[in-house]
Amino acid sequence: MGRGPGGGLMTDMVFRRGRLLLWGGCLAAALALPLVFKGGFVISLLCQMGIMVVFALSYNMLLGQTGLLSFGHAVYYGLGAFVSMHVLNLLGKDGGPLAVALLPLAGGLAGLLAGVVLGYVTTKKAGTTFAMISLGIGELVAACALMFPGFFGGEGGVSGNRVVGKDNLLGFTWGPQIEMYWLIVAWAFLATVAMFALTQTPLGRMANAVRDNPERAEFVGYDTQRVRYLMLILSGFFAGIAGGLTALNYEIVTSETLNAHTSGVVLLMTFVGGIGLFYGPVIGAILISVMQIVIGGMTHAWLLYFGLFFLFMVLMAPGGIASVLAMQRTLWQARLLGRMLPHYLATAIPLLVLLAGLVGLVELAYALLAGEGATAGDAASRVLGMDLYLRSPVPWAAALAVSAAGAAGLYWIGGRMKKAWHQTLSTLQGDKA
C-alpha cells in the first residue's frame, strides 16, 4: 500500500494523536482511581506507587537508556528527600500550600546538584567499574547519614508538617491524604512526560548509542563520558523529585532512604518491569509496591516470595514483564493471539494450583520455624486464615498433594503450550518473511 504526498506527515500526526490519547487516558485513569477505591489504605498505596514510578523511571534513564548499572541511586533520592524536608521546616508558618506544592522541585534540584558533584567521578568509566564506584559512593553517603546528625537527623531522621500557613491553594491544604494523592499524580505525570520526551531528544538517542556501541559513538565524534555524565545529572534530578514527594507524603525522612536496600529495590523494580521499554519500570514499580505493602502486610515471608518471583523472571522472562506484553502485542497485530489464548488459560489453572500448594508449604514452614507450633498438638496455629496443628502430618500432606497435582498438571499442559508457542512463532516468522 503506497503513501501519497504528505503521507509521512499524516502518519506522524496519527502517532502524535494516539500518543496524546494514551497520555490522556493514563492521567484520567489515575484521577479516577480514588473515586473507585476510597479506602485510606488504598489511597496510601496509590501514593506510594506514584512516587516509585518516578523513582524507577529515573533509574531506567541510567540502566535502560544509557547502560549504566548503578548500586547507589538512592543517594539522589534520599538527598532530595532530606533537602525537601529541611526546606519545608524552613518555610514554617511563613509558607503556604503553593510553596509546599513546589517542594519536590527543591528535591529535584538537590538530586541534580548531587549528580553534578558525584557524577563526574562515577561516569569516568562504564560497566563494572561504574557499578562498583556507585556502590562505594552510595555506602559512603549512607554512612554520612549517621555521622552528621545535624543534617540527617541521626537514627530518628528529620520530620516536618506539610500543612503550613493559614491559606489554601484552590481549596487544597495538603493535609488529607487524598489531596496529597492529587499532588503526587500531578508531579508524577509531569515527570513521566518529561522523561519520555527526553528519550526523543538527541541526548536520549546518543545515550542509547553509548549503551549499545560506545566505541562507534566515540568514532563519530561524541564524548561518551559527557553523555553518561549528563544522563546521570538528569536522572538525579528526577530521583530527587521522587524523594521530595516521599518527604511530603510521609512527613519524615530517615537514613533508610539513602541505604543500599533502597537502591536494590529500585533496581529490582526496573529489571522486573523491563528495561527495554519505557513503560517497563512503571509496571515494575506498581507490582513491587503492591508486593511490599499488600503481601508484606499479609505474611512475614513476602521477601521469600519476592525472591522466588525475581528468579522466575530472570529465568523465564529476562526482558521483564514489558517484553512479555510486547510479544503479545506482536501476536495481536499478526492476528495470532487468539491461537495462544486457550493455551494460556489452560496453563494458568495448574500454575495457580502449584502456587497454592507452595504457598501453603512456605507458610507452614515459616510458622513452625517462628515458634508458633512450639506447643506441639496442644494448640492450633493460625495459618492462611485456618487453625492448623503444625506438628500434625495432615496439613503438610495436603500442601504437598496440592503442589504435586499442580506440578503434574503444569508438566502435562506446559508441554502442549510450548509446542503451540513454537508453531505460532514459526507462523509469525513466516508471515514476516
283, 317, 351: which is the final residue of a domain? 317
The reply to whether 303 falls in a domain is yes
The reply to whether 18 falls in a domain is no
341 with 313, same domain?
Answer: no
Other beta carbons less than 10 A from residue 100's beta carbon: 25
The reply to whether 325 falls in a domain is no
C-beta separation of 240 from 107 below 8 A: yes
Q: What pLDDT score was predicted for residue 3? A: 45
The reply to whether 379 falls in a domain is yes
The reply to whether 362 falls in a domain is yes
Q: The domain containing residue 240 runs over which residues? A: 39-317
122 with 171, same domain?
Answer: yes
341 with 195, same domain?
Answer: no
131 with 214, same domain?
Answer: yes
404 with 280, same domain?
Answer: no
343 with 312, same domain?
Answer: no
Q: How many CA atoms lie within 13 A of 66 on its CB side?
A: 32
Other beta carbons less than 10 A from residue 179's beta carbon: 18
CATH label of the domain that carries residue 121:
1.10.3470
% residues pLDDT > 70 (the chain): 94
349 with 264, same domain?
Answer: no
317, 348, 364: which is the final residue of a domain? 317
Secondary structure (DSSP) of 55-107: HHHHHHHHHHHH----S-THHHHHHHHHHHHHHHHHHGGG--HHHHHTHHHHH
Burial class of 51 by CB neighbour count within 10 A (0 to 12, 13 to 18, 19+): buried
Q: With bands split at pLDDT 50, 70 and 90, how would you rate the model's confidence at 230?
A: very high
Q: With bands split at pLDDT 50, 70 and 90, how would you rate the model's confidence at 373?
A: very low
356 with 299, same domain?
Answer: no
43 with 187, same domain?
Answer: yes
Q: pTM of the prediction?
A: 0.88
- 91: its cell numbers: 518555610
Q: Is pLDDT above 70 for 376? A: no
The reply to whether 25 falls in a domain is no
Mean pLDDT of the 379-384 span: 72
Dump pLDDT digits (tens) for 16-72: 777 788 888 888 999 899 888 888 889 999 999 999 999 999 999 999 999 999 999
Question: What is the C-alpha separation between 111 and 244, in angstroms, rounded?
Answer: 10
Phi/psi at 383 (5° precision): -130, 125
Q: What pLDDT score was predicted for residue 372? A: 52
Dump pLDDT digits (tens) for 253-311: 999 999 899 999 999 999 999 998 999 999 999 999 998 888 888 888 888 888 888 88
Q: Is 153 left (phi over 0), alpha (psi -120 to 50) or beta?
A: left
383 with 413, same domain?
Answer: yes
Question: What is the C-alpha separation between 308 and 310, in angstroms, rounded?
Answer: 5
β-strand pairing of 252-253 with 158-159: antiparallel
The reply to whether 104 falls in a domain is yes
The reply to whether 365 falls in a domain is yes
317, 350, 384: which is the final residue of a domain? 317
**CA 64 centroid distance within chain:** 13
164 with 310, same domain?
Answer: yes
174 with 202, same domain?
Answer: yes
**How many domains in the chain?**
2
- In terms of Cα–Cα distance, which of 52, 43, 39 is closest to 182? 43
Other beta carbons less than 10 A from residue 216's beta carbon: 11
C-beta separation of 54 from 238 below 8 A: yes
Dump pLDDT digits (tens) for 171-214: 788 888 999 999 999 999 999 999 999 998 999 999 999 999 98
